[in-house]
Chains A and B, each alone.
Chain A
Amino acid sequence: MRHLADGGDDSPELSRKLSKEREAALKEALSSVVPRLISSVTRVTHDYHLAEDITQEVCIAVFQEFRKGTKFNKPVIVFATAVARNKLRDYWRKSSSGERPYDEPPEHARQFSSSPVAGLEYLELLESVKAAIANERQAAVWELTHIWGLMGLEIAELLEISSATVSRELAAAEKKAKLCQDDEEAEPA
């Protein structure tokens, strides 16, 4: 069994076939991951079709890990969320530099009409939340909760902290992020 951080036998002949048990586990993982990812990526991008594309790419990555015999040390949704965020970042980077995402043929190339604006708006909003929170770990907990829809235990696994710390950091993050500019100026020095 290959752990995610370990090496492993990647030979195609050995890894093409999944056992019945692994196939069942993979299908169960995908049925849990797909709706959550489509939902969170659509929330971020305001583009359902892009969310479907990214989710499919993530599913392929999950599938490949199962084929290699990877034993996930963290919940599959944590792996999937990390891959999705990387793919979204790559998508925005490519689209901003004029590259075609996912090697789409020119006639099918995605038109950057609405989602780029949404991407920019999203990044600016995220930046304002992070600036208000002004704490790296608290901002990560806020992002994972509200944007990626991860649960406390999943966040604890990803950030390698306890569930109690997740709850505490989220409360602290929300307290700061919920302050509006008028509140801050009204606070006594």
Chain B
Amino acid sequence: MSDRQSSPHERMLAYLRAGDRLVPGGTRTAQDWDSLYRVIAEAADPLCAEPPETPDLSSEAWYQNALDTGMERSVVRWGK
């Protein structure tokens, strides 16, 4: 289907569905969670971690921080 015959909504959802297929199935076990928790706790240790990120959760910040703002088109040209 060409771009003229499909909508932006359909094209984006098709792209996202392709990504969904890359997520492995299965659930984490209690052991997996404990392991993840330990890794995160260690990395978040205030004595060695980088200063925490405190994002602005206001609605204005969400609009201002849109992915396409502050990221010029040239910035997302990869490689050559």
Contact = CB atoms under 8 A, between A and B. Distances in A.
A15 interface: yes
Chain B binding surface SS class: loop
Contacts of B41: 63
Contact of A42 (B13, B23, B36, B40): B23
Contact of B71 (A61, A64, A89): A89
Contacts of A109: none
Contacts of A147: 12, 16
A79 B45 CA distance: 20
Chain B interface bracket (under 10, 10 to 19, 20 to 34, 35 or more)? 35 or more
Nearest to A58: B53
16 contacts: A10-B46, A27-B33, A43-B23, A44-B19, A63-B44, A82-B56, A92-B75, A96-B76, A96-B77, A97-B75, A116-B79, A118-B19, A136-B63, A137-B63, A146-B16, A178-B7
Interface of A: 4-5, 10, 12, 15-16, 27, 30-31, 34, 38-39, 42-48, 51, 56, 59-61, 63-65, 67-68, 73-74, 78-79, 82-83, 85-86, 88-89, 92-93, 95-97, 112, 116-123, 125-132, 136-137, 140, 146-147, 158-161, 174, 177-183
Interface of B: 3-13, 15-16, 18-20, 22-24, 28, 33, 36-37, 39-41, 43-47, 49, 52-59, 61-63, 65-68, 70-71, 75-79
